[in-house]
A and B are shown apart, each in its own frame.
Chain A
Amino acid sequence: MATTRFLEWLGRIYIGLLLAFLYLPIIIMALMSFNVSPFYQLPFDWTTEWYASLWQNDQLIAATWNSIEIAVITTIISSVLGSAASLALFRYEFRGKKFLQALLFPPIAIPWLITGTAMLIFFFGVGIGRGLFAILLGHVALALPYVIVVVSARLHTFAPELEEAARSLGANQWQVTRRVTLPWIMPGVIAGGLFAFAVSFDQFVVSYFLATPGQTTLPVEIYAAIRKGFTPEINAVSTIIIVVSMALMLLTARFFKFGGEK
């Protein structure tokens, strides 16, 4: 019994160490964004100077707006198209259904480097070219499988008899969907939409290959800045991004259980 206790405490300490490993660099980055020294020297002196100069950086601000715009549009398009597809995969039996479901796997599993360069070649080849529209096309495609997987998971908890009951009471297909099915899967749709937002807002690799100097997103802009040399301004904007995306995921967790517990 004593050994068990001891091992359990060891386990708790271990988890604490893992959390330290995961969060320390992020916390240090956040702290340094409030430090006076631009070379990250200690002692620590508080300032919000870097956030103020961020505000003056038109290029970063423009890239930020592009990122937000693309993420919002990606969220809307992919949650509508994705939910419709999940509904069809749930409701109907047809040949090739397994194949269609399997097709969702490659976009998630293939490294973004390959997907991104392939998009660059193809979009360039068919005349779409690079830029914000190309980035949007790519982001929606990357987000769609996630939405479909999340909404389908929610649909598995839905009893099809409810649809039949509504139909036998005289509701037509559209009424059944809007009044019975949609309200039930809404938490899944919202979670899927938040996933889509995160996939798009944090996306770097695919955006990187599709961006042009004038039409770029925040992560691409940050990558360029890092390669030119570190500045506290990058810390400041990075801190903002990490806070936003973590808040977003906490929100998602409220709508969708990750743990798989019933």
Chain B
Amino acid sequence: MAAQGAVAARSGLRSALPLLAPAYLWLTVAIFLPLSAMVFFSFMTDLPLTGKPWAFTLGNYAAFFSQSLYLTLLLASLRLGLEVTLWCIVIGYPAAYVLAKVLKGRSREAIFLLVILPFWSNGLVRIFSWAMVLREGGILDTALNAVLPFKINIDLMYSYPAVIIGLVHSYVPYMVLTCYLTLQAIDDSLIEAGRSLGASRLQVLKRVIIPLSLPGLVAGAALIFVPVVGSFMEPRILGGRTGTFYGTVIEDQFVAVFNWPLGAALSFILLAVVLVILAVASPVLRRAA
């Protein structure tokens, strides 16, 4: 029986291969080989293509650990990711709850679409639109001064809060989406049962709703945290000089300083951090899927 199964499996692969090969070859050439090449290059003194002599070295990694700057920036990026994720939970989870449990029918569908629509529009352009709102003499400044009796100067542009606002704006739809999917799956009768057994609203929230929607919460957190730690465009545009993070340093190695091997090492360290985080989150992620 087992042998027969193996034969069937092999013939299955033979039929599947022509359909699978083009897509997976493409992914190999454009994603998996480049990632491997990056690891390889990160152990080199120089690019072997430029004709300059090169050798294997651990120097790029030594640079990361010997200069506290890189570690500081990595920690700053991790903190940024954590803060943005927390804000997204605080803002996104209640919205997902209202969408899943309060709104009904067509209005739910329409509003759900409205919430996730910006997510699929150009991120760069949306970050840029905040620049117009946040700068001194910008819309927020003008509007607040028109309403308030005293003169205040709102110049959030090129500051840490500006980076947070822009990133939360970019990523909060993710949280709404993943939490909505798990909240929607909770049977209303469970909530009613809890209530009729005498639990308060808060108790139902704590004992029933949050535990059951936890997979969505974790999935959303992972999907937000990972790209935020690697972000460089948002801090550049909204953070100005205060916007130096781990991602911007990697960008510099490739487009300004041209120290590719160091850039590769820094990228690989970030990749390792990201993979550890995803591995920790993956049991919960798998339950959410």
Chain A residues packing against B (C-beta within 8 Å): 8, 11-12, 14-15, 18-19, 21-26, 28-29, 32, 39-42, 81-82, 84-85, 87-89, 91-96, 100, 103, 106-107, 109-115, 117-125, 137-138, 140-141, 144-145, 148, 198, 201-202, 204-205, 208-209, 219, 222-223, 226-227, 230, 234-235, 238, 241-242, 245-246, 248-250, 252-253, 258-261
Contact = CB atoms under 8 A, between A and B. Distances in A.
24 contacts: A8-B102, A14-B95, A22-B172, A25-B129, A29-B132, A42-B142, A84-B22, A94-B9, A100-B20, A111-B229, A111-B274, A113-B270, A117-B250, A118-B37, A119-B31, A119-B34, A122-B33, A122-B37, A125-B49, A137-B29, A137-B30, A226-B128, A241-B121, A242-B121
Interface in B111-142: 111-118, 120-126, 128-133, 137-139, 142
Given A25-B132, A121-B41, A226-B128, A249 B120 contact: yes
B173 interface: yes
A18 B91 contact: yes
A23 B34 contact: no
A113 B133 contact: no
Given A84-B19, A88-B20, A202-B121, A21 B30 contact: no
Contact of A249 (B17, B97, B117): B117
A77 to B, nearest CB: 8
A92 B31 contact: no
B260 A121 contact: yes
A204 B152 CA distance: 36
B198 interface: no
Contacts of B68: none
Contacts of A88: 15-17, 19-20
Contacts of A198: 120
A110 B274 contact: yes
Contacts of A253: 113
A212 B107 CA distance: 46
Interface of B: 8-10, 12-13, 15-17, 19-20, 22-24, 26-27, 29-35, 37-38, 41, 47-49, 91, 94-95, 97-99, 102-103, 109, 111-118, 120-126, 128-133, 137-139, 142, 169, 172-173, 176-177, 180-181, 184, 223, 226-227, 229-233, 236-237, 247, 250-251, 254-255, 260, 263-264, 267, 270-271, 274, 278
A199 B146 CA distance: 40
Given A11-B102, A19-B114, A112-B227, A89 B20 contact: yes
B124 A117 contact: no
Contact of B113 (A21, A87, A204, A258): A258
Which of A28, A114, A223, A242 neighbours the largest number of chain B CB atoms within 10 Å of its CB? Answer: A114
Contacts of A249: 117, 120-121
A123 B115 contact: no
B contact patch SS: helix
Nearest to B100: A259
Contacts of A21: 91, 169
Nearest to B228: A111
Contacts of B236: 227
A248 B117 CA distance: 10
A228 B200 CA distance: 57
B237 A226 contact: yes
Contacts of B35: 106, 110, 114-115, 118
> Sorted from nearest, which 8 A-B pairs have the closest CB atoms?
A111-B230, A141-B30, A122-B34, A88-B19, A94-B13, A11-B98, A29-B129, A85-B23
Given A91-B16, A125-B37, A117 B121 contact: no
Contacts of B99: 15
A29 B102 contact: no
Nearest to A93: B12
A115 B31 contact: yes
A91 to B, nearest CB: 7
A205 B267 CA distance: 14
B69 to A, nearest CB: 18
Contact of A202 (B16, B98, B123, B247): B123
